Amino acid sequence: MDEIKILVVDDEERMRKLVHDFLSKRGYTILEAGDGEEALTVFFENKDIALLILDVMMPKLDGFGVAKEIRQYSEVPIMMLTAKGEESDELQGFKLGVDEYVSKPFSPKVLVARVEALLKRYHLINSDIIEAGGIVVDKQAHEVKIEGELLDLSYKEFELLTYFIENQGIALSREKILNNVWNYDYFGDARTIDTHVKKLRSKLKGKEDYIHTVWGIGYKFEVEKV
């Protein structure tokens, strides 16, 4: 792949090394920062950073402060590392424009998968065929198959399922789903998402439990618990 730079920001050197090692093996170029102020310095010195991975709790300037500052100048994808179960962190981050979250402790392999899903969503790396738990999506042909059987999905059901699969394990708010699947020019309300999810689940032939309801937020697509 072309060089893709990822900035990893965490005050724990051990955590930075863990993320660095796994992402480097996938061919990414990793930059590091140990606190929020250093993160801003590194970011603005390197205009071609493709993705930020930010810890929430850091000295000098926390992850929210970093995200808020960067969002004034850039729409670069931001992934935030949060303490497990800290829903308030996720809600605050959504308001600041954070794209997704990974709760600590996490599986490095899952982190890599989520990084690549986020990069694909921003078209920084490309894949026309994606697969999850026996569901195969061909984006170019606009087809979905389960065990070789073609599903009869509407255009929006296809887009919704694709968005879910490309964001596996991430709690997606209804607002975020609307913005990404229906786009910002949609003037309806979040109930249309619930209707489409209900219809989509009914067509997934035994895979409907992959789409989890996250109370108070929205939905999460997850093949298996990590």
Could you read off the pLDDT of 98-121 as tens digits, one per residue?
A: 888 888 888 888 888 889 888 877
pLDDT class of 84 with cuts at 50, 70, 90: low
- Which residue is it, tokens 């979905």? 144
Residue 16: partners with Cβ closer than 8 Å, 6 or more residues away: 8, 10, 32, 34
Q: Which fold has domain 129-221?
A: Arc Repressor Mutant, subunit A (1.10.10)
CA distance 16 to 11: 8
User: Where is 153: in which H helix or E strand?
Assistant: none
Which residues face 170 on adjacent strands? none
**Whole-prediction pTM value?**
0.56
5-121, superfamily in CATH? Response regulator (3.40.50.2300)
The residues, any chain, with a CB within 8 Å of residue 54's CB and separated by 6 or more, are 9, 39, 63, 66, 67, 78, 79, 80, 81, 98
Task: Kindly list the distances between the CA atom of residue 155 and the CA atoms of 144, 151, 171, 182, in Å, as whole numbers in the listed order.
Answer: 11, 12, 23, 11
Could you give the 3-state DSSP secondary structure of residue 32?
strand
130: tokens are: 């994606």
CATH 1.10.10.10 intervals, the chain: 129-221
Render pLDDT for 158-186 as a digit per residue (tens, 0 to 9).
Answer: 999 999 998 888 889 888 888 888 865 55
Strand segments (E) across the chain: 5-9, 29-33, 49-55, 78-83, 100-104, 129-132, 135-138, 143-146, 149-150, 172-173, 211-214, 218-221
Higher pLDDT, 157 or 120: 157
Instruction: Quote the pLDDT of residue 226.
Output: 41
CATH 3.40.50.2300, the chain: domain bounds: 5-121
% of the chain residues with pLDDT over 90: 42
183 token code pair: 């786009």
